[in-house]
Amino acid sequence: MLKSDSRKFILILAIAAILSTSGYVLWSRSFYQIGYPLDDSWIYQTYARNLSQFREWSFIPGEISGGSTGPFWVLFLTIGYWLRLDHHLWAFLLGTVVLFLLGVVGGAAVKSLYPQNKSAGLLAGLMLVFEWHLVWASVSGMETILAALLVTSTLVFLFKPEISAKDWFLIGFVVGVSIWVRPDSILLMGPVGFVLVFGSQSPLTKKFKHSVFVLLGLMIPVGLYLLFNQIVSGSVWPNTFYAKQAEYAAHQNIPITTRYGQQLVLPLIGAGITLFPGFIFAFLNTIKARNWALFAAFVWFFGYLAVFAWRLPVTYQHGRYIIPAMPIYFILGSAGTFKWCFAHWHSEWLIFRVLSKVWSFSCVSVTILFGLLGAKAYAEDVAIIESEMVTTARWIHTNTDSNALIAAHDIGALGYFSERQIIDLAGLISPDVIPFIRDERQLAVYLDEKEADYLMTFPDWYPILISGSKLIFQTNGVYSPNLGGENMAVYEWESTNVSK
């Protein structure tokens, strides 16, 4: 039986998670309509629907492919199709449950780090379920929030003062499972290994034994994951792993310090900026106390951002690639903030009393303010995807021959609605374009060789490709242009001097 305080803690966080995700969805509905804020969300839905209907791992029915980053997320979404539930409802329900669990894990972690105040855990949990990046991810239809939960749970589990051999096996297994959601979760082995070596005064023989248990737990899911990818894509990593890096290779020309700074700023947009002093305070206390498990979490956070600054230095879509790292920052920042504020709440020094209250008020008010701004951003993101990608995909379904071959960069909604053969210019389901993914003339040759019929794109994305093609449809949607973008267009592909 759960204690009364625990039941209250869970109930409040459950209600808060429902309110936060429902608020975003309702805002989206009132602004334009219910949908997903990313075209990639439709990629997951297409794989899930095809798995349910055709019992195959495909984006185009009959063509096995490895275009989804997180196979486990596809499986979760497939359950909704088996249950014959609306895919929006099921995806949002999954996201809400995961957000709630993230709040529980984060709140419990802060409570364990700062047990002197009973309300610290609940406040931290509430901050997590209302933090706008995390709510946005929860109703995005993407694997991001599940990756955040698994990453956070692993790091928090390492905070335990005593970890048994069975626990180490479980940690290794969870890391392995996490890779089925996001391949970059393998980076968790850094803090796991660090805590194994430095986290206790155990003899070397015991540490070696625990290392074996970690590896045993890890090897099972990782081995299956590598085998799965080899079967569906011919490579041990998913196509997305290579395609995204190739597409944004030009960003490597930006100085690494600039790229890293851009990644570091992302968690600070919102409540994170108010937690930054607490994060630094907690880090200094961690060094002073020689708490190596906490130290590993700090180092992992900075290291994770460094890897993305190095290999995939993009910040678009609210920094969705590093959102899995944000909860641990919020947790550590909350712990440091609570410790300082509560310690000075009744200080004999007026300035400390005032500062602790102003700081606390700022944390709450900024979380609420950016929660509202995040809901607005989410609604705008959904409106763009629905009015551009989905509208165009539906037009193609209605106005092109059923045997037409469509070349496109954004294939999510196109794959779900058009029921057409597709050439993926982003390389997710057409990995052979990856070597020349940004070379428009080589892409033109490729489209000629494949005998493409139509090109679907935003005009500015492929100015050379569209130069010799006839425009036959454009959405005329208002949301994308109002936010500085363009309208999606469809061109009748013609073999011209473009490819020469």
What's the pLDDT tens digit per position in 159-209?
998 899 999 999 999 999 999 999 999 999 999 999 999 988 888 999 999
Residue 430 CA to chain centroid, in angstroms?
A: 23
Tell me: the pLDDT tens digits for 119-175? 999 999 999 999 999 999 999 999 999 999 999 999 999 999 889 999 999 999 999
Q: Which two tokens stand for residue 410?
A: 């954004």
Residue 66, pLDDT above cutoff 60: yes
Residue where the block lists tokens 């108010």: 274
Give me the pLDDT at residue 476, please: 94
Residue 483, pLDDT above cutoff 90: yes
> Domain spans of the chain?
4-380, 383-499
Helix (H, G, I), strand (E, B) or coil at 492: strand
Residue 2, pLDDT above cutoff 70: no
Kindly list the distances between the CA atom of residue 423 and the CA atoms of 37, 51, 408, in Å, as whole numbers in the listed order: 23, 21, 6
Secondary structure element (H or E) that encloses residue 285, with its range: helix 271-289
Tell me: the pLDDT tens digits for 322-351? 999 999 999 999 999 999 999 899 889 999
Give me the pLDDT at residue 1, please: 43
Long-range contacts of 313-318 (CB under 8 A, 24+ apart): 313/248, 313/251, 313/252, 313/254, 313/259, 313/262, 313/263, 314/248, 314/251, 315/262, 315/263, 315/265, 315/266, 317/37, 317/38, 317/381, 318/133, 318/136, 318/266, 318/269, 318/377
Residue 457, pLDDT above cutoff 50: yes
Give me the pLDDT at residue 498, please: 64
Tell me: the pLDDT tens digits for 235-259? 888 888 787 787 787 778 899 999 9
**Least confident window among 105-109, 152-156, 158-162, 281-285:** 158-162
Tell if the pTM clears 0.85, that is, is over it. Answer: yes
Mean pLDDT over the full length of the chain:
94
Give me the pLDDT at residue 114, please: 86
